[in-house]
Amino acid sequence: MSPNARRRLGAVIFPGFELLDLFGPLEMFDAFAELVPVAGEAGPVRSAQGPACVAEVGFEDAPAFDLLLVPGGIGTRHAVEDPALLEFLRARAPAAEVVMSVCTGAAVLARAGLLDGRRATTNKVFFEVARALGPRVQWVEEARWVEDGPFVTSSGVSAGMDMALAVIARFAGRERAEAVAALTEYLWQDDPGRDPFHRYLGRTDLLARLARVAEVGDASPARRRGPGFEGGGARAGGGHRRVSGDDPPAAGHRGDAGPDEGPPRGDGGPPPAGLSAAPPDPGPTAAAAPAGGRRGGEGARRPRRTP
């Protein structure tokens, strides 16, 4: 396809998807692709944070897509067991120019068998969960994103925007990718091998730190999420704790982080061996393998909404 051709991007959503996993990359692709949210059925799909995204089409009625994007989120714990979703990905991936995942969305691709024998990465805190779901994947522990043929997988949440710019660079040129970054006032980390969050690999203890500062009894939608594959809300590379009026106060709870609460330190103990071993409502994120990732590509974006 011509570098200047406008693509059609299918954003595959499911209940409990992570907002930034989805809308960060979509913002970057705005001037280059028709953005089409797709789900099992057309209609609103609630995110992990509460706000819903409207799927314009269902799997059965979806048009052909040049690009596919699979976000992560606490809902991936169900998405990896959704036969319709997995079959949709298996059927559509071969015809797509690029298939992307953000964060624990890589676990969904892995569960569909699409990453077998390929290199991939995912959110660092729940890396072992994704490794368990994709034992034949060559998981790269230290990478902002990884490119392997038509598959491009990113690390956690914000990394999806860096990945999206790299994909734009791949088919539209680096100059346009840099223009996108400038127009969105985003500092593009264009080195896929530079992963500042690698130090949090397997650090599921971070979830307990989030629980300390959660407001017990807050029943807002943003607080009704459990610690998933990556979760949402307050974040230190991972998920969050379900909070409701029935929950007991967390140990040391003061309603806010106290002055003694510094950045996470020390080793977080052994990572979860799989879904059942992860903290309550855990979600997929991946594991280890040959380090690295391909270069970021050459891309950039022209002024928004110009042909």
Active site residues: 103
Please name the residue that has the structure tokens 């491009």.
152
Mention every residue, 6+ apart, whose C-beta is less than 8 A from residue 71: 11, 12, 13, 17, 18, 21, 22, 101, 102, 103, 105, 160
**Contact present, 165 and 147 (Cβ < 8 Å):** no
d(CA 174, CA 299): 3
Q: How far is CA 130 from the centre of its chain?
A: 12
Which residue type occupies 65?
A: F
Report the C-alpha gap between 183 and 142 in whole angstroms.
29
Contact in structure between 238 and 123 (CB atoms under 8 Å): yes
